[in-house]
Amino acid sequence: MRWPRFSFAVVAVFLADTGAAANVQVKVVDHKGEPLQYAVIALNYSGASGKAGRPDRRAMDQIDKEFVPHVLVVEKGTPVYFPNKDDIRHHVYSFSKPKEFELPLYKGTPAKPVVFDKTGEVKLGCNIHDWMLGYIYVVDTPYFAVTDASGKAVVANVPAGTATVTLWHPRMNEKSEKTDRKLSLTVDQTASLNYQIKVRKEYRVRRAPRAGGRKY
């Protein structure tokens, strides 16, 4: 049985407020039809429409021995801080090609942020807590959103024009899933995109039990 790789629909809804920017609504499900959280949708424009100002600094927290959020999307060139909000030390690192870095054992917030200057997937880990897993996905556009638990997201206030829409998820096979599409947007338009992609199971080391508890 072949899984449907991609389903695509565009619905134009013209709003009463003329001059408003366009919006893109997204719904992403897996190959079983279940809502898919943490899918990243990004719109890439050529020319002036794709330009943006200096990216704001962002943060990838460490809370209760987990990276929060699980997936953080940033624009290329964004400085990211890694606050440790636990009462123990963490040792954050990544061996991913877009950004290899290491923050040796520390508490609090390191004085200098890590600047993510190349696009792509950056997988995060902790040398002390092997089950900690997080992702920073670096895009070359200010127009992006991440799906919630219902598999939905909205990229709001995007320019009219032709954009290349890209989809990424930490458990999708980017080589086999061809999801890029061209989308033409007009002023005051709301476009709806529906995706269905096949994802692999996520392997994670079992979490160590809490003090005095049995749960992982």
For residue 16, pLDDT beyond 70: no
151-193: pLDDT as tens digits = 999 999 999 999 999 999 999 987 667 789 999 999 999 999 9
Q: Is 108 within the bounds of a domain?
A: yes
Average model confidence (pLDDT) for the chain? 86
Is 8 a member of any domain? Answer: no
Look up residue 130 and give its amino acid: D
Distance between CA atoms of residues 103 and 98, nearest Å:
16
The last residue of a domain, from among 122, 139, 156: 139
Contact residues for 143 (Cβ-Cβ < 8 A; gap 6+): 42, 43, 44, 45, 155, 158, 163
**Residues 137/73, Cβ–Cβ less than 8 Å:** yes
Q: Are residues 62 and 124 in the same domain?
A: yes
Q: Select the more confidently predicted residue: 178 or 146.
A: 146
Based on its alpha-carbon atoms, the radius of gyration of the chain, rounded to whole angstroms, reads 19
Q: Which residue has the higher pLDDT, 111 or 150?
A: 150
Whether 204 is covered by a domain: the verdict is no
Listing DSSP states for 23-92 in one string gives EEEEEEEETTS-B-TT-EEEEEE-GGGG---PPPPEE-EEETTEEESSEEEEETTEEEE--B-SSS-EEE
Assess whether 92 and 75 both reside in one domain: yes
Residue 182 lies in a domain: yes
Task: Tell me, yes or no, whether 65 and 118 share the same domain.
Answer: yes
What's the number of CA atoms in the CB half-sphere (13 Å) around residue 115? 5
| C-alpha to C-alpha distance for 98 and 118, rounded to whole angstroms | 5
pLDDT band at 206, cuts 50/70/90?
confident
Task: Say yes or no: 127 and 178 in one domain.
Answer: no
What is the rounded CA–CA span in Å between residue 7 and residue 141? 24
DSSP state of 172: B
Q: If 0-12 CB within 10 Å is exposed, 13-18 middle and 19+ buried, where does residue 195 land?
A: buried
User: Domain limits at 127?
Assistant: 58-139
Query: Number of helices (H) and strands (E), helices first, in the chain?
Result: 0, 17
